[in-house]
Chains A and B, each alone.
Chain A
Amino acid sequence: MQYEIIIAGFGGQGVLSAGRLLVYAGMLEGKHVSWLPSYGPEMRGGTANCHVIISDEEVGSPILNFADIAICMNLPSFDKFESFVRDDGFILCDTSMVSIEKTKETSKKVYGIDATTKAFELGNKAFANIFIIGKLLKITKMLKPESIEKALYDVLPEKKHHLIPIEMEALKVGLAD
């Protein structure tokens, strides 16, 4: 099994770190992984995306021309990457940022979670990507939630470890959504 995922949104929405978290957790489960960010002169506020591959086999190209899953955390990302998704794939939107009306424009399967609103309710908009990951795991079962937790401990600096229980709450909300 191979998952090819594009995650896209505004810089600062945790797009790149969501991808890193997924590939890290994938690596912990012994899968082959790659993560390739878009890189450019914009440090903040610009558009950002990353190509993520989580596979049972060796990864060929880390560059995706098509994806099984596009995670769109804002409207421009939906417009840009909707066409990248294979017919049997799906789009996962942050419906705080992409309206339900908008998602009806595509013939492809669309899932949504009100991630940014929920993150604000939890007190930190930076958690939006964790709600999204929770929802992704619910749909695909591609990784175990425990692997995400372990990945968080490995990836985040120690001074942020106190936030992990809150992030796991967010993950659970996504898993139950």
Chain B
Amino acid sequence: MGEKVLMKGNDVIAEACIRAGCLHYFGYPITPQTEISHYLSKRLPELGGTFLQAESEIAAINMVYGASSAGARVMTSSSSPGISLKQEGISYIAGAELPAVVINVVRCGPGLGGILPGQCDYFQATKGGGHGDYRNIVLAPNSVQELYELTVKSFDLADKYRMLCMVMADGSMGQMMEAVQFKDEEDIQVYDKPWATNGMGCRGHSNFITSVNVNPDELEKVNLRLQAKYREVEKNEIRYEEINCENADIMVVSYGTTSRIMKNVIKEAKKIGINVGLFRPITLWPYPYEALAKHTDKVKAFLSVELSAGQMIEDVRLAVNGKSNCYFYGRMGGHIPSQKELLDEIIRILEKEDK
């Protein structure tokens, strides 16, 4: 491992992109992730790659579609309203089975909303967003170090499964600085892309990339193939972290920024004799249902803490499957719950459960 350096989350995402061997980036400015563009606009041309500021998020995601079709590793980044605009392209990328990496530094909505951190795009990221039966792999880092590691990983997952992989951070993670330790050299697996449309001269027959098929039998087969692939991802790629889960009275489920606050809450709770467990999904899709379900008999209740009106709570309920009470605590509009708020909520829930 290399030396520790102090970097802003957004800069680390950009550096991770380069370290993962991705030399092509297409994007459109939007707060709070513009530093990614600033960084890459300087570095990528130096490396012989492409930094292109597109005319819109729609154009940017379609440039990604083209670059990926041509066989390149490629990335775009945006924040919530911009990700909404990219949804058309994201659906096409899923349909055409192209690898691509999309960074979403989430802000709060709906509409133009605000520029402060949010986790209100959970549904959009994990349950669809665009049209059709498709899935994206969604990774949720909670530190600058993880922004680096998971961004690098996202390129591998995208290539491995020919899928779109989204790294979902939030405004505060993009803006914060922490120490990050880069590897001296990334272990990048190079995937053959015999399907790429990079000129038939190199292979002797023509390729085409498409997401359209008007024959119902054939299109159903395409869908079944996609679903089989998604089952494979569910089998292989689930990631999560468990903190203080042994003998926990209550299991808090949270990811990203809120999971960082929970680390402090766990310490505070211990001081007053409450054992709070933290279950942190790192893959938001595929969701770690089974791992979470294992705690149902051991804790008094589950609490989903989110910067939203309650989105991931639905997956928590699916995992818990009625075997335990599931509570929700969230803040919106860019507010972040304080440790005290969360501890008070935990005490309130435990008192209720003990009755």
Contact = CB atoms under 8 A, between A and B. Distances in A.
Interface of A: 20, 23-24, 27, 32-37, 39-41, 58-63, 65
Contact of A20 (B6, B264, B340): B6
**Which of A23, A33, A39 neighbours the largest number of chain B CB atoms within 10 Å of its CB?**
A39
B263 A61 contact: yes
Contacts of B281: none
B31 interface: yes
Contacts of B340: 65
A155 to B, nearest CB: 8
Interface stretch (B15-23, B51-59, B96-104, B174-182): B174-182
B264 A61 contact: yes
B267 A37 contact: no
A23 B6 contact: yes
A35 B172 CA distance: 10
A18 to B, nearest CB: 13
Interface in B14-45: 31-32
Nearest to A53: B178
Per CB-CB distance, the 6 closest pairs between chain A and chain B, nearest first, are A60-B263, A60-B264, A65-B338, A35-B177, A61-B261, A36-B176
Contacts of B171: 39
A23 B176 CA distance: 11
A23 B177 contact: yes
Contact of B178 (A33, A61, A63): A33
Nearest to B180: A27
A174 B207 CA distance: 69
A34 B176 contact: yes
Given A61-B260, A61-B261, A61-B263, A37 B338 contact: no
B257 interface: yes
15 contacts: A27-B4, A27-B6, A33-B6, A34-B176, A35-B176, A35-B177, A36-B175, A37-B175, A39-B32, A58-B263, A61-B263, A62-B172, A62-B176, A63-B260, A63-B336
B333 to A, nearest CB: 14
B197 interface: no
B41 to A, nearest CB: 18
B115 A41 contact: yes
A62 B237 CA distance: 28
A32 B267 contact: no
Contacts of A60: 260-264, 267
B339 interface: yes
B115 A20 contact: no
A80 to B, nearest CB: 16
Nearest to A35: B177
Nearest to B264: A60
B334 to A, nearest CB: 10
Given A23-B6, A39-B171, A65-B339, A33 B260 contact: no
Contact of A34 (B32, B178, B261): B178
B257 A27 contact: no
Given A35-B176, A60-B262, A61-B257, 9 more contacts: A24-B6, A27-B4, A33-B6, A34-B177, A39-B31, A41-B31, A60-B261, A62-B172, A65-B338
Nearest to A40: B115
A35 B264 CA distance: 17
B338 to A, nearest CB: 4
Nearest to A61: B261
Contacts of B115: 39-41
A65 B335 CA distance: 11
B31 A20 contact: no
A129 B179 CA distance: 22
Contacts of A27: 4, 6, 179
Nearest to A62: B176
B132 to A, nearest CB: 35
A40 B334 CA distance: 12
B171 to A, nearest CB: 7
Interface string B159-180: 0000000000001100111110
A33 B143 CA distance: 12
Contacts of A62: 172, 176, 178, 260
A163 to B, nearest CB: 20
Contacts of B267: 60
Given A27-B6, A33-B6, A61 B176 contact: no
A24 to B, nearest CB: 5
A49 B31 CA distance: 18
Contacts of B264: 60-61
A23 B262 CA distance: 22
Contact of B339 (A39, A58, A61): A61
A37 B171 CA distance: 10
A20 B176 CA distance: 10
B143 to A, nearest CB: 9
Nearest to B258: A61
